[in-house]
Structure 1
Amino acid sequence: MTDKVEDGSSRPLSIRDIARLAGVSRQTVSRVLNGERYIKPSTEAQVRKVIDELAWRPNSAARALATSRFKTIGVVVTARSHYGPFSAAAAVDQAARARGYAIVSATLAREDEASLAAALDTFLAHGVDGVVMIAPQQRAHEALQRVSIRVPFISLQWRDAPGERVIAFDQREGARLATRHLLELGHSRILHLAGPQDWNEAEERMHGFLEEMSSWDIAPPPPALGDWTSDLGYDVGLKLLRPRDFTAVFASNDQMALGIIHAAADLGLSVPGDISVVGFDDIPEAKHFSPPLTTVRQDFSLLGIGAIDLLIAEIEGSTPPEPAHFPVPELIVRTSTAALMP
């Protein structure tokens, strides 16, 4: 905005003007704008009162010249249409904006090296200070390892990201929680409906299922391969529920679990009376399935905050926090699972 300043001229208000009106130093105003910790609450309140009263917004170009930072983060997503990557991207966006950083994003139609390199070049041309990679597919991960990223970056989902700049949920432990729940209910013949083979989450969840079954000395049937969709879950259900060779299904995501439940209903089977079903993700609709779905919940807001805190610490050269880099998801028990009837 333009306002009258002390010399009577009309020009855009600067950070120095805000500092003078708030009775603090320019550095203090800068620290408030950057969301830095350890500022006296009354001081921050006074600065923000002046900013709000004048409806002032900092000049991003001037700030970039002064700090060599544009306070912008680039986010690359290779599968925004899926619940997990979409939720992770939304959480990263919210966490970044809360810290005073703007977001520019690129959703790749292809997960190859050329597409990834083009997105990163575009980000650098816009002066991003750091990059968040949300690329759960194996081919995207391989492309990432071949592309030079010249700014600080964080990778979500992959434990073995380049330089170990990664934060992700412990997918294996989440799968073990789901499998253990079924085992404790008395089920031993459990089918795992896995996700696509080239997705890291699908691979980790399948390994978690197999590890938990092995720890109970139970040999599971071979996992069925899925594609994350309810249609696939429905088709698999119609095919595999007819012989009734198992009493429970652990689906690698909630959409495929929904398809299984639909197929069971069409075959005249009761969930959970004849077959128990567990999903993964706890999508918003999961509690409204018929019956409400037992599933594994991931706190994507925690993921976004953790990723942004680590990235900004590297960007600003500050001491990074000590988050749980691999937080464990939470089992949400609803009525799609029940004890095995004798």
Structure 2
Amino acid sequence: MTEQQAHPAAARRSPSMAQVAERAGVSHQTVSRVLNDASLVKEETRIRVLAAIEELGYRRNFAARLLATNRSRRIGMVTAHLALHGPSMIALAVQEAGQAQGYDVSLVGLPEFSFEALQNAVDRLSDQAVEAIVVAVPHKDSVEMTRSLQLGIPIVMVQGVVAGQPLTAGIDQEAGARRAVDHLLDLGHRRVAHVSGPSEWIEADHRAAGWRAAHEARGLLPGPLLTGDWSSASGHAAGLRIAQDPDVTAVFAGNDFMALGVLHALHQSGRRVPEDVSVVGFDDVPQAEFYWPALTTVAQEFSELGRRALAVALAAVRGDAGATVDLIEPTLLVRGSTGPPAH
């Protein structure tokens, strides 16, 4: 009895694009270009890849036909940190936008952020003949890494982007932060502390930049900067330190969960909110209006982000390689956690 007869399920398993690439002696990007009928591939390389596809029994007929005609009606999405509010809402928004346009969305989550993990994720999606891929990975190197893949199908970035970049959709994180801090400065605060997200997140950088810019525009020095990890526990640790500084009368937290930790620390330390210290968050999680006091925060329009991301992806599929949309302006929601300083 042969090994394939002993293990019929293994015999039926379709080989991966990586196996085709290895057999042909090329990169997985080259295999993708051949399936996509791209003109960049030399004829001798194309013949070698097609031979490997035939030899291994790769799903050539299905994948090539759909990719060549762009009619799979399937969009891929690569994301990370789905346990966090922002990434999970972005993934949901893209899926809902796809369904509204008659597209299925295949989601692949990264177990870690690395070039290898990103490459494996897009390989899996390429195997499904997706027409385009939306990448929602917030790390500082994610845009450059993703662009280097050169898959032969459009890739749309939705995190860590700036205005005017082609094949992007995003929310203006710096503008949202400035709006939050301007609100505190308008109330009369002059030394606003900031609890930032992790240093490897580009969105944390953008929000910190908005915090600094709001102070600089008024000729003010910002308060202390403390780094968190998006968790309430890290916000609590930062809040305990802030509570010991009597000159700090306001705090801008990089997200609502860290703001919750700050609120708890201030209460523990006998600092009243907002009478002694005002607190602003970012995200407007569903629980924010039920914090005590209700949290002033910056709301992000995730549903609109999903619609714009899909619109850019479909425009690119139709041939518009420079498709882009304006960044979405976040909205400040003023609630009970902010007020003028006591002095």
Q: TM-score normalised to the size of structure 2? A: 0.77
> Quick one: structure 1 residues 291 and 154, their matched pair in 2 at CA, closer, same or farther if it must change by over 3 Å?
same
Cα offset, 1:321, TM superposition: 8.4
Q: CA offsets per residue over residues 165-215 of structure 1, 9 Å max, x none? A: 111111111111000000000000110111111111100010011011000
Please give the secondary structure, in 2, of the residue aligned with 1:167: coil
- 1:176 maps to 2:178: yes
The answer to whether the 8 Å contact 2:166/2:323 transfers is no
In the other structure, the counterpart of 1:307 is 309
Equivalent of residue 206 in structure 1, options 192, 205, 208: 208
The answer to whether the 8 Å contact 2:70/2:317 transfers is no
Equivalent of residue 261 in structure 2, options 259, 262, 272: 259
Distance in 1 (alpha carbons) for counterparts of 2:321 and 2:159: 23
The answer to whether the 8 Å contact 2:168/2:324 transfers is no
Distance in 1 (alpha carbons) for counterparts of 2:161 and 2:68: 36
Cα offset, 1:102, TM superposition: 0.4
Cα offset, 1:122, TM superposition: 1.1
> Quick one: structure 1 residues 145 and 310, their matched pair in 2 at CA, closer, same or farther if it must change by over 3 Å?
closer
Q: TM-score normalised to the size of structure 1? A: 0.77
The answer to whether the 8 Å contact 1:309/1:320 transfers is no
> Quick one: structure 1 residues 114 and 321, their matched pair in 2 at CA, closer, same or farther if it must change by over 3 Å?
closer
Please give the secondary structure, in 2, of the residue aligned with 1:256: helix
Amino acid at match of 1:159: V
Gaps of 5+ in 1: 1-59
Cα offset, 1:141, TM superposition: 3.4
In the other structure, the counterpart of 1:332 is 333
- 1:281 maps to 2:283: yes
Alignment of 1:1-342 (within 5 A): 64=66, 67-159=69-161, 164-317=166-319, 323=325, 325-342=326-343
Please give the secondary structure, in 1, of the residue aligned with 2:237: helix
Distance in 2 (alpha carbons) for counterparts of 1:138 and 1:98: 31
Distance in 2 (alpha carbons) for counterparts of 1:309 and 1:249: 37
Cα offset, 1:158, TM superposition: 2.5
Structure with more relative contact order (C-alpha pairs < 8 Å, separation 6 or more): 2
Distance in 2 (alpha carbons) for counterparts of 1:124 and 1:262: 46
**Structure 1 residue ranges (4+ consecutive) displaced by more than 6 angstroms after TM superposition:** 318-322
Cα offset, 1:258, TM superposition: 0.3
Cα offset, 1:228, TM superposition: 0.6
> Quick one: structure 1 residues 175 and 160, their matched pair in 2 at CA, closer, same or farther if it must change by over 3 Å?
closer
The answer to whether the 8 Å contact 2:174/2:206 transfers is yes
Cα offset, 1:148, TM superposition: 2.4
Cα offset, 1:327, TM superposition: 1.3
Percent sequence identity over matched residues? Answer: 37
Q: CA offsets per residue over residues 46-85 of structure 1, 9 Å max, x none? A: xxxxxxxxxxxxxx99x94994421001100022111111
Distance in 2 (alpha carbons) for counterparts of 1:161 and 1:178: 20
The answer to whether the 8 Å contact 1:78/1:140 transfers is no
Please give the secondary structure, in 2, of the residue aligned with 1:173: helix
RMSD: 2.4
Please give the secondary structure, in 2, of the residue aligned with 1:338: coil
Q: CA offsets per residue over residues 69-119 of structure 1, 9 Å max, x none? A: 210011000221111111111000000111000011110011111111111
